[in-house]
A and B are shown apart, each in its own frame.
Chain A
Amino acid sequence: MTTRIDTRFAELKKQGRAAFVTYVMAGDPDPTTSLEIVKALPKAGSDVIELGIPFTDPMADGPSIQAAGLRALKVGMTLKKTLDLVRGFRKVDNVTPLVLMGYYNPIYIYGVDKFLADAKSSGVDGLIIVDLPPEEDDELCIPALKAGLNFIRLATPTTDDKRLPAVLTNTSGFVYYVSIAGITGAAAADANVVGQAVARIKRHTGLPICVGFGIRTPEAARAIAEKADGSVVGTALVDALKNSLDAEGRATAKTVNAVAELTAALAQGVKAAKQAAE
């Protein structure tokens, strides 16, 4: 089965360039503005969208993304409304891959089977669930694969060669390499070190490898895009959104553009990258 993710990476490979993957939080700062932002991302140059599922206790995320989740929860965002947002996006865009990223508990409480059916029918292509390592594959990963959704696994600097096969088994769509041992929004990793890590992972898999955590500028996005199959940016976009809000944390006329403009600038960086020879 070929998903939107597979199709998109195959196209990018033909074009000889890396993917630009953007992360935003669903419902931040409110569901309506959030939908407008998600719709604006492909036009601004995003190749793959990661949509955060708000959660009260995001253990692997930094303060910016945690605050974004809390802003969304405060205006009543839920997992169900996150799926509604995806449906709204699919009305205008049926090609851009969309991956939900979050933590397991809201999905567990929603009900795994019901969630997978609803996610698939609403137009979700893949899942990144931070707190489900391969040791807990029975929970969601295997059912997701059966339901026709990609399950995208995180590989990290602590994932050594011995462990990589376990991490890559049941992974599909792409591999998300976390460039640093740390939380989202932390200091940037050295592109050369990332390059070595990507080369190491490539010895174990033919899947595209996208790299995230700590990429904030067009230059950094470009440097990573030269070493990997994709650059992922989240915190910088979430910060741009936050800086556009009014004193009460509500959207302003600038909000959608603030995210779109930074997306466009970062996308230019990624497109300027010269792909490493494989």
Chain B
Amino acid sequence: MNIAKPNSYRSGPDERGHFGIFGGRFVAETLMPLILDLEKAYTAAKADPAFQAEMNGYLKNYVGRPSPLYFAERLTEHLGGAKIYLKREELNHTGSHKVNNVLGQIMLARRMGKKRIIAETGAGQHGVATATLCARFGLECVVYMGAVDVERQQPNVIRMEMLGAKVFPVQSGTRTLKDAMNEALRDWVTNVHNTFYCIGTVAGPHPYPTLVRDFQSIIGNETKTQMQEVEGRLPDSLVACIGGGSNAMGLFHPFLDDPSVEIFGVEAAGHGLTQLHAASIAGGRPGVLHGNRTYLLMDADGQIQDAHSISAGLDYPGIGPEHSWLHEVGRVNYLSATDDEALAAFQLLSKLEGIIPALEPAHAIAKVMELAPKRPKDHLMVVNLSGRGDKDVPQVGDILRGKSK
């Protein structure tokens, strides 16, 4: 594809929220005034040192940042190539990177005087983070979750309820994340006057992809500093899994203008790219859904297709618009890993490093297993360990015992 390389990969989006042809604001008129308000509130917050100072306080003392950058010595030895570092986002309060973004959005909601928070969730990590911060700040919390995901992610449903959130199992469509997002948008259209929609990934109408990216960029910024401290230089490559792509964008963005850094995003290939999967870039094309233009899985008539992944958090037929753009300009390499590859990686990391990863980052580990052996021993590879596997233990346990398909 003949797309001009930009001077900076970090300058987007434009004032209308576009990354190349991607992004934008494709929502019902009812929501537009609120989206414009949100953009204004975010611009003001970014320029307010008090906002950043307050965020930093919570990030340090409530979330537990900075998260460690851990040298995975046994995994490195086992694979026999690149030196592998894990960015330990799974050690954050609530067990994943999601809390970084939710903290930012909840602080914004407070600035905007909103008392009711809604969210959609796939694996439940975003729902748990939202429920947690709503509890902390005394806000009403409603979480939409596909009925299928409610089944396969029971531990997180219980956590959300313990935290005082109302969890609505969504029965429409495929009863997964896409449908939860539709239902959250319907709630928002209905309750727009008092409700803040806390979106869980770098997708949705502008300014969400930007503000979620900014809140998650702490991952990449810390990685830069930490790698400088340990190795005295930048990493050579970065690897992260992608559903909507917020953990990946958080790690990648601060490195986009460092040309020596190779960047790999890993989509969920499910049963394989010719069968049911959730790899929007590998198996989709540009379309418009959920407020933005981006790569989507769809049929010839523009109807959205069902996504499938073993990981509820990656089971979405789209991807954040900035990823679509980074793919088209060729800055990030998008790969994919199947359910089986992710399961194998899940077990390998658990056994070699004593770290049970969530099924989402297990997809990233699966590609590390391919990439690392082909790199020299002085190659520094950082994998975003975006979440821990507690929520997946019952599901993976069933599969490993042969109880599930």
Contacts and interface: CB of A to CB of B under 8 A. Distances in A.
A132 B26 CA distance: 5
A109 B298 contact: yes
Contact of A105 (B28, B34, B289): B289
A72 B351 CA distance: 50
B303 A159 contact: no
B25 A183 contact: no
Nearest to B306: A56
Interface in A109-157: 109-110, 130-136, 153-157
Nearest to B193: A181
Contacts of B192: 158, 181
A62 B186 CA distance: 8
A137 B173 CA distance: 30
A133 B288 contact: no
Interface string A86-120: 00000000000000000111111110000000000
Contact size range, B: 35 or more
A110 B296 CA distance: 15
B190 interface: yes
A246 interface: no
Interface string A142-182: 00000000000111111110010001000000000010011
Interface string B250-264: 000000000000000
Given A160-B33, A183-B189, A108 B289 contact: no
B304 interface: yes
Contact of A59 (B182, B191, B287, B293): B182
Contact of A178 (B30, B191, B289): B30
A186 interface: yes
B368 interface: no
A178 B29 contact: yes
A55 interface: yes
Contact of B25 (A133, A154, A155): A133
Interface string B269-311: 0000000000000000001111101001010111110000000
B302 A108 contact: yes
A125 B288 CA distance: 24
Contact size range, A: 35 or more
A57 B30 contact: no
A135 B28 contact: no
A181 B173 CA distance: 23
B296 to A, nearest CB: 8
A60 interface: yes
B393 interface: no
Of residues A57, A58, A79, A134, which shows the largest number of chain B Cβ atoms within 10 Å of its Cβ? A57
Contacts, number: 118
A158 B33 contact: yes
Main secondary structure of the interface of A (DSSP, over half): loop
B28 A131 contact: yes
Interface in B1-42: 16, 24-34
Given A133-B32, A136-B24, A154-B29, A59 B16 contact: no
Given A105-B298, A109-B287, A158-B33, A57 B24 contact: no
A127 to B, nearest CB: 14
A109 B172 CA distance: 24
A105 B287 contact: yes
A188 B41 CA distance: 32
B185 interface: yes
B323 interface: no
B404 to A, nearest CB: 27
A107 B292 CA distance: 15
Nearest to A67: B172
Contacts of A157: 30
B303 A59 contact: no
Nearest to B184: A59
Interface of B: 16, 24-34, 172-173, 178, 182, 185-186, 189-193, 287-291, 293, 296, 298, 300-304
Given A131-B291, A181-B191, 10 more contacts: A57-B290, A57-B304, A59-B186, A62-B186, A110-B302, A131-B26, A131-B27, A156-B28, A158-B193, A183-B186
The 10 closest A-B pairs by CB, nearest first: A109-B302, A106-B302, A182-B190, A156-B30, A60-B28, A78-B301, A131-B26, A59-B185, A105-B302, A56-B304
8 contacts: A105-B296, A110-B301, A131-B288, A133-B29, A158-B29, A158-B193, A178-B30, A183-B189
